[in-house]
Structure formats: structure tokens, C-alpha cells
């Protein structure tokens, strides 16, 4: 379904955001504007172009729900492509996706700190306080 308020330039900008891999992308827009769809399309474009693997792409969203939705959509897209891929490449990408850094800013920071706990002089078994505890 197309948005009657969308200008022709909007679609050009969206297509460019999906396929121009010459720079990192920060996407800020309102709820329901299609951010997750665009990020999934861009992520898939990166995989299709073989410029990176899932563990090399950092996708940060604002909410845990959006991160889970993005991971789910990517998983389904990879599985769909795997069904017609005789090389097994998309099946392997689907497996790698399970450990890919697709998370919130808090989740990403926690992951980085856990992976570098000793260098950061942190107890590797640290836990992040819940809002009510903090």
C-alpha cells in the first residue's frame, strides 16, 4: 500500500538508503514510518553484496521489541532465500544471524563490555541494573 502523502523524492531517498553502502547509516523517523523495513532491506543488501557477514554488521535500534522484530524479519528473509539457494550460503547466513549484533544501545554496550570485561577491569559476570534498582 502506498502512502498518498509520500513525495517522489521520499522513495528516491529510501532507495538510496537501502542500497548506497558507501557510508554508515543513521535513520531517525517517527513511529510507523517504515524504519525497520528499511533497515532490514539495507542489511539484506549488505549480505547480498557479500560486503559483510552478520557478525560484522552492527544494527542498533531504540527498543528491544524493534531489535527482535528486525532479527525475526532477517531470519525469515534468509530462510526464504535458503530454500532456493543450492550453495547453502543463505542457510549459513541464517545461522550466523543468531549471534549478530542486532540490539538496543544498552544491549550493544553490555555486549561490548562483556567481551572486553578484563580489559575494562570489570567482573565478567557483572549484571546491568534494572531501572528500579538504579
User: What torsion, rounded to 10 degrees, do the Cα atoms 72, 77, 83, 85 define?
Assistant: -130
pTM (2 decimals)?
0.77
SS (H, E, C) 40-106: HHHHHHHHHCCCCCHHHCCEEECCHHHHHHHHHHHHHHHHHHHCCCCCCHHHHHHHHHCCCCEEEHH
Give the contacts of 105 (CB within 8 A, at least 6 positions apart).
60, 62
24: pLDDT confidence band, cut at 50, 70 and 90?
confident
Neighbours of 71 (CB within 10 A): 20
Task: Report pLDDT for 13.
Answer: 72
Read off the pLDDT band of 25 (50, 70, 90): confident
Q: Which grid cell sits at 79?
A: 530462510
Confidence check: pLDDT of 8 > 60: no
Cβ atoms 109, 67 nearer than 8 A: no
pLDDT tens figures, 40-93: 999 999 999 999 999 999 998 888 998 999 999 999 999 999 999 999 999 999
Amino acid at each position: 500500500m502506498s502512502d498518498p502523502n509520500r513525495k517522489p523524492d521520499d522513495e528516491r531517498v529510501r532507495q538510496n538508503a537501502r542500497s548506497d553502502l558507501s557510508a554508515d547509516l543513521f535513520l531517525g523517523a517517527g513511529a510507523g514510518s517504515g524504519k525497520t523495513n528499511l533497515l532490514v532491506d539495507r542489511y539484506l543488501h549488505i549480505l547480498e553484496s557479500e560486503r559483510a557477514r552478520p557478525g560484522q554488521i552492527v544494527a542498533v535500534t531504540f527498543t528491544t521489541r524493534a531489535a527482535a522484530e528486525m532479527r525475526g524479519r532477517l531470519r525469515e528473509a534468509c530462510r526464504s532465500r535458503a530454500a532456493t539457494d543450492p550453495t547453502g550460503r543463505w542457510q549459513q547466513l541464517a545461522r550466523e544471524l543468531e549471534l549478530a549484533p542486532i540490539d538496543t544501545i544498552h544491549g550493544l554496550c553490555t555486549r561490548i563490555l562483556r567481551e572486553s570485561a578484563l580489559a575494562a577491569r570489570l567482573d565478567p559476570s557483572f549484571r546491568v541494573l534494572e531501572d528500579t534498582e538504579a
